[in-house]
Amino acid sequence: RNQELKSSGHCLVLSRLANAVTPLWRLPYQEQLQVKYESQRKILQTLASRLEELGIDAQKPGGLCCPLQPVVPSPIINGYRNKSTFSVNRGPDGNPKTVGLYVGTGRERNIVCVKANHVENIPSKHKQVAQCYEEFICQSPLDSCILFHEGGHWRELVVRTSRRGHTMAIITFHPQQLGQEALATQKALLKEFFTSGPGAVCALTSLYFQESTMTRCSHEQSPFQLLHGAPHIFEELLGLKFRISPDAFFQVNTAGAEVLYQAVGELCQATGDTVLLDICCGTGTIGLSLAHQVSKVIGVEVVEKAIEDAEWNAAFNGISNCEFHSGKAEAVLPQLLASWEDARPLVAVVNPSRAGLHYRVVRAIRSCRAIHRLLYISCKPEGEAMRNFLELCCPPDPRKKLAGEPFAPVLAIPFDMFPHTDHCELVLLFTR
């Protein structure tokens, strides 16, 4: 009976994790697409209502602010993620060194870390690396770091893979009071485990180690230390080769990204004399994939290592009409556009994080008369992106220093970059 209860409890927690990470996993894929279409329709209805409140006649058929196309399906439905982040915490069995994903909340104080072996959007290679990392830290005398103030060392694992068969593992470690000699010992043990020990089965292309006393830490704050292998992994996308650093942004669904970028290229309506402004460009994937359609690409990205990747990617692929600027978009873009005198058509593509664009970026875009066409790519359009949409479309507002003619939404296309989840990538086309 105890065994039966243990088994049923295990199944329950597995279902809770699947429901939390991939809430649509029980639905046939066509039904998933319909659920996502309805959620995007509600977002466009909300935007139309918010624009009406600003005195803008934005109501289109169905109460939408612009036509909404059907959700474009993902070419791959299962195991599509090329990047996974695994936490270390207590598991359902009480093991404080369980490597998996969280179920529960801090507020409820019921967080438990569950192995992700059954989660459908994570590839088997990622699960294999997570299992090996758990095996390593379980044999380590050092504790896992669950709460910073309680001590412990072993923290999260990030796994990145490519269709070329490359695998990068990044392990975060809280140094606490350990000296350099003790740290060197842990790094040597970790390298030995993954190169000649049980972890060698993972065949890692790159093994990184980062000492961090924060929840998230950039390379500039605490450098990624290469313990083994090559400093980068490589991916092919739309016939181009891309170099990826540990913390560089790259769409998590590579096959879906190809479909997305092809559509972006068509929506840009770029001609041979067009200049493409790629804001939040990451490793340059969008700009470089469209470089052959335009006269020039200008990319802006806050992650310095991603810009280094973008410049390498351009040179390696023989693309010479791209320039990339490192820094916060709100610092770089106003300077870049304030003195814009180029007579060529300027099309902007923005692909920000969930935090959306800084208001100075929106202000700079609106003030640049050369931009008549803008593509906003958002993985969470109901969040901070909604604020950006309203700032782009509202009448000129001297109080907010929003000058220039407003934009108007003319077309929305959702792309299912995240099957089994309730998220999708929305491309919203604005013109003026």
Q: Enumerate the active-site residues.
A: 379
Task: State the DSSP string of 293-309.
Answer: GSSEEEEEES-HHHHHH
40 is in an annotated binding site: no
Contact assessment for residue 405 and residue 385, using Cβ atoms and an 8 Å cutoff: no
Q: Minimal CA–CA distance to 110: which of 22, 189, 13?
A: 13
Contact assessment for residue 101 and residue 53, using Cβ atoms and an 8 Å cutoff: no
- The DSSP letter of residue 104 is S
Phi-psi category of residue 261: left, alpha or beta, with phi > 0 → left and psi -120 to 50 → alpha: alpha
Pair type for strands 206-211 and 225-229: antiparallel
The sheet carrying 296-301 orders its strands as 322-326, 296-301, 275-279, 346-350, 371-378, 425-431, 408-415
As given in the structure block, the two tokens for residue 101 are: 């994903």
Contact assessment for residue 193 and residue 199, using Cβ atoms and an 8 Å cutoff: yes
- The DSSP letter of residue 373 is E
Half-sphere exposure of 61 (CA within 13 A, CB side): 3
Q: Minimal CA–CA distance to 280: which of 308, 320, 307, 311?
A: 307
Q: Minimal CA–CA distance to 48: which of 39, 58, 37?
A: 58
Nearest-angstrom CA–CA distance, 13 and 102? 11
Contact assessment for residue 310 and residue 284, using Cβ atoms and an 8 Å cutoff: yes
Contact assessment for residue 242 and residue 313, using Cβ atoms and an 8 Å cutoff: yes
108 is in an annotated binding site: no
Residues 6+ apart with CB under 8 A from 62: 41, 45, 68
Q: What are phi and psi of 214, to 5 degrees?
A: -125, 165
351 is in an annotated binding site: yes
Q: What H or E segment, with its residue span, contains residue 244?
A: strand 240-244
As given in the structure block, the two tokens for residue 326 are: 């490192």
The three-state secondary structure class of 255 is helix
Contact assessment for residue 426 and residue 378, using Cβ atoms and an 8 Å cutoff: yes
Annotated binding site for S-adenosyl-L-methionine: 251, 301, 351
Annotated binding site: 251, 301, 351
